[in-house]
Amino acid sequence: VSLGEFDLIARFFSRTPVRSDVLLGVGDDAALLTPPPGQALVAATDTLVEGRHFLPGTPPECIGHQALAVNLSDLAAMGAEPAWVLLSLSLPAPEETWLERFANGLYGLADLHGVALVGGDTVRGPLVVTVEVLGFVPAALALRRDGARPGDVVYVSGSPGVAAAGLELLQAGTADFASNDERVRRFLFAEPRLALGRALRGIANSAMDVSDGLLGDLGKLCGASHVAARIDLDALPVAALEHAYTRAECERLVLRGGDDYELLFTVSPAQAALAEEAATASGCTIHRIGALVAARETNASGSVTCLRNGQVVPGKGSGGYDHFAG
Ligand code: ADP
Ligand code: MG
């Protein structure tokens, strides 16, 4: 059955917006939205390409979930509240069951966080999914990458590395997409840390989400803030992994694994207790993994240095990528 573009939009992407600040949603030339007075609009977009950002054969509900999750994670990392979503879909051939399942994945996560799909675009082409999310935050409270200061404590939320472990299971064929293995579920259905991000407003000096791996992303945060970081390898959260992996594998997964969408953030030592309370109240565990120092205190090998028992571990910093074989 060939499905026309307008039928397709009407059937799968026109659910009634769940928000009263949507004056006009899907159907007109553009959406009309009412931002709350006095807050900054926060906007982020991310594109997923089949074979590059998700494995061929990925269940459509996972693609729908992931396309939104990666964007919500960016808003979480800003301490922002998401409100509206736009969806641009490039599809090889509109297939009804695929679209139904994709829409369920996307709307499922959207409903969980009270965000409304208000528009998009639909074209024929290779499978590419682009989502844009809009939200808001009082500008002075936004969590930015460039606010970190020497002396800050470095935290990461949840259990980084678990999603990467799930990806490895799928790639090795040890597990399939229907697996109930916690690692696979975490990879396929990442949970953006929105409540934690909001809880850290006015407490964290800087934040970002971990999409490409903790070490590399911390390096980016350090670069934006002109600081350097010292990570204590003994403090890495490995509880969710250590039953199944060697210590070296755990460290590799936690430090280098992507796709977790945990939050990485820094807090001045005087605010650390407050940050821990706020995180607990938001329902998320956080782990103190290191501290920031002035950029000049580190050597030229990179902005992130790893320590074990207080000793520098050569080749494990952000500049030691090639040597980090685990
Ligand atoms: P236009 O020609 O003005 O770009 P379209 O025919 O592309 O309009 O889209 C018609 C309406 O459907 C618009 O309101 C647009 O935002 C919405 N829309 C198109 N594709 C999607 C989609 N995949 N998800 C949600 N809304 C969509
Ligand atoms: Mg269009």
pLDDT in tens, 162-205: 999 999 999 999 999 999 999 999 999 999 999 999 999 999 99
Ligand 2 midpoint to CA 88 (Å): 9
pLDDT in tens, 183-195: 999 999 999 999 9
**Amino acid present at 257:** G
pLDDT at 170: 97
Task: Say how many C-beta atoms besides its own lie within 10 A of residue 14's C-beta.
Answer: 14
CA pair distance 64, 101, nearest whole angstrom: 8
Closest residue by CA, ligand 1 atom 20: 121
Ligand 1 midpoint to CA 164 (Å): 35
Task: Say how many C-beta atoms besides its own lie within 10 A of residue 67's C-beta.
Answer: 26
Residue 234 has pLDDT above 70, yes or no: yes
Closest residue by CA, ligand 1 atom 27: 120
Measured CA distances, 72 to 163, 194, 196 (Å): 17, 7, 12
Does ligand 1 come within 6 angstroms of the Cβ of 120?
yes
pTM over 0.85: yes
Does ligand 1 come within 6 angstroms of the Cβ of 13?
yes
Which atom of ligand 1 is nearest the CA belonging to 28? 14
Does ligand 1 come within 6 angstroms of the Cβ of 64?
no
pLDDT in tens, 3-19: 788 899 999 999 998 89
Closest CA to 44 of 156, 130, 143, 160: 130
The per-residue pLDDT of the chain, averaged, comes to 93
CA pair distance 155, 276, nearest whole angstrom: 10
pLDDT at 300: 47
**Which ligand has the nearest atom to the CA of 27?**
1
pLDDT at 318: 63
Supply 224's token pair.
Answer: 């934006």
pLDDT in tens, 305-314: 999 999 999 8
